[in-house]
């Protein structure tokens, strides 16, 4: 057990890490373009925040949270998602006093005790965007456009945007009454989980992927039929802005999302490349969340996407990730003098931004050249007593195999010129 990561966690390194960092780079560039500032919150919060912010009837709170008592007998929970913590931070630091809207993003680990499967871990990483301070449908569309642009910049084009509206709390209450009546008449046909969900929140039944439940859900009342005039106008304006942006979408009246804080617009980007759990990214509007967490009523919208799920989609599109070349030059060393000289040259090159490495293991010349080739060095040299005495080495192009004599004293300047 000591040499195995806990179930539902994984180590990140090698080619996978290279791609991970590329994705994070795209995210940070995207957020800079959209004027979204980074927020870093603690990985644990007071449990009450998630009970109120995420919702006591959700599967996350009921079944999946890592909760414990600290030494002060306080109930603490490892964050299962990022939105509640962002809302707490917005309130605590008085960000509502700044010019609005407030645009924030986060990247970090989340924790849920759930059944592990492809694309789902117990520790996973989310990129999320939260925007506060506007009730306008333009904010909904802006949030969706950030998610759409992220997928486009990553080259993930085979996705479908599905949108819906849950209406305001009053609309939702009317819909809940109709939905409860319909589902109640079919309760004996549902799976055990959905029977439990029905008692707590009938909307959760619409999330079920079980085939027998899907058959019942297909004929359920449609939430869009219960929207009042204001909520209908809000949703129509969201669609009109998306049309103007050129962002394609389809209305899916069964999307409700898995968290209780959503109001009005909800959306998902769905891919066929990651199996049954095909949602790549999802979000929506949550006008009541800030007040629920102890702040003033504040219009807000956002989304979250799992980094691991993005990588899963990218791998399904592009094949297995390959480790990129790591070095500009490998300096092979023979003997003590070669080792000392080579380490000095490598250090000066690194200071100048050249990716250089000198042997530090004491391999044979043959083993060193094999290592240089295996680790993707663009050039290599062998440096020993003779080379130092004669001030001459053979600089080898590892791709073509061509060698050229250069002075040891000029090797640094030559690599600087080739790097430029």
For 167: left if phi > 0, alpha if psi spans -120 to 50, otherwise beta; the answer is left
The H or E element spanning position 337 is helix 335-351
Eight-class DSSP state of 324: P
User: What confidence score (pLDDT) does residue 273 get?
Assistant: 61
For 264: left if phi > 0, alpha if psi spans -120 to 50, otherwise beta; the answer is left
Report domain extents, the chain: 14-168+228-318, 329-419
- Give the span between the Cα atoms of 402 and 420, in whole angstroms: 21
Per-residue pLDDT of the chain (420 residues; tens, 9 = 90+): 788 999 999 999 989 999 999 999 999 999 999 999 999 999 999 999 999 888 776 778 888 999 999 999 999 999 999 999 999 999 999 999 999 999 999 999 999 998 888 778 999 999 999 999 999 999 999 999 999 999 999 999 889 999 999 999 899 889 888 888 888 888 888 888 888 777 777 877 887 778 888 888 888 889 999 999 999 999 999 999 999 999 999 999 888 775 667 899 999 999 876 554 588 999 999 999 999 999 999 999 999 999 999 999 999 888 888 777 678 999 999 999 999 999 999 999 999 999 999 999 999 999 999 999 988 899 999 999 999 999 999 999 999 999 999 999 999 999 999 886
Provide the whole-model pTM.
0.87
Cα-based angle 15, 19, 23 (whole degrees, multiple of 5): 165
Q: Which architecture, in CATH terms, is 14-168+228-318?
A: 2-Layer Sandwich (3.30)
Beta partners for residue 103, in sequence order? 131
CATH 3.30.350.10 fits 329-419, yes or no: no
Measured in degrees and rounded to the nearest 5, phi and psi for residue 281 equal: -155, 145
Report how far apart, in Å, the C-alpha atoms of 297 and of each of 122, 169, 233, 289, 329 are. 33, 14, 21, 8, 59
């Amino acid at each position: 057990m000591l040499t195995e990561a806990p179930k539902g966690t994984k180590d990140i390194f090698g080619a996978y890490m290279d791609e991970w960092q590329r994705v994070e780079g795209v995210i940070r560039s995207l957020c800079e373009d959209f004027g979204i500032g980074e927020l870093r919150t603690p990985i644990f919060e007071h449990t009450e925040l998630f009970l109120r912010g995420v919702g006591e009837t959700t599967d996350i709170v009921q079944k999946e949270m890592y909760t414990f008592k600290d030494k002060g007998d306080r109930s603490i929970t490892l964050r299962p998602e990022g939105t509640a913590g962002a809302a707490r931070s917005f309130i605590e630091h008085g960000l509502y006093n700044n010019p609005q809207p407030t645009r924030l993003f986060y990247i970090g680990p989340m924790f849920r005790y759930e059944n592990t499967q492809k694309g789902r871990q117990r520790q996973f990483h989310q990129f999320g965007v939260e925007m506060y301070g506007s009730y306008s449908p333009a904010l909904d569309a802006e949030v969706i456009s950030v998610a759409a642009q992220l997928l486009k910049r990553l080259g993930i084009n085979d996705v479908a945007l599905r949108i819906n509206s849950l209406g305001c709390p009053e609309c939702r209450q009317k819909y809940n009454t109709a939905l409860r009546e319909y589902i109640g008449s079919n309760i004996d046909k549902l799976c055990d989980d959905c029977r439990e969900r029905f008692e707590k929140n009938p909307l959760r039944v619409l999330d079920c992927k079980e085939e027998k439940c899907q058959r019942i859900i297909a004929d359920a009342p449609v939430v869009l039929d219960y929207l009042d005039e204001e909520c209908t106008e809000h949703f129509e304006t969201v669609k009109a802005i998306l049309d103007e942006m050129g962002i394609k979408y389809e209305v899916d009246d069964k999307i409700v999302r898995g968290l209780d804080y959503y109001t009005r617009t909800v959306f998902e980007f769905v891919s066929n490349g990651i199996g049954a759990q095909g949602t790549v990214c999802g979000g929506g509007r949550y006008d009541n969340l800030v007040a629920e967490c102890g702040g003033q009523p504040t219009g807000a919208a956002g989304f979250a996407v799992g980094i691991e799920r993005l990588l899963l989609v990218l791998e399904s599109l592009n094949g297995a990730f390959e480790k990129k070349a790591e070095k500009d030059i490998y300096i092979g060393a023979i003997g003590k003098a070669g080792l000392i000289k080579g380490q000095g040259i490598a250090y000066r090159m690194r200071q100048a931004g050249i990716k250089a490495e000198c042997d530090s293991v004491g391999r044979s010349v043959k083993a060193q050249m094999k290592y240089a080739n295996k680790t993707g060095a663009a050039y290599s040299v062998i440096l020993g007593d003779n080379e130092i005495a004669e001030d001459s080495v053979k600089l080898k192009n590892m791709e073509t195999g061509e060698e050229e004599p250069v002075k040891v004293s000029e090797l640094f300047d030559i690599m600087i010129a080739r790097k430029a």
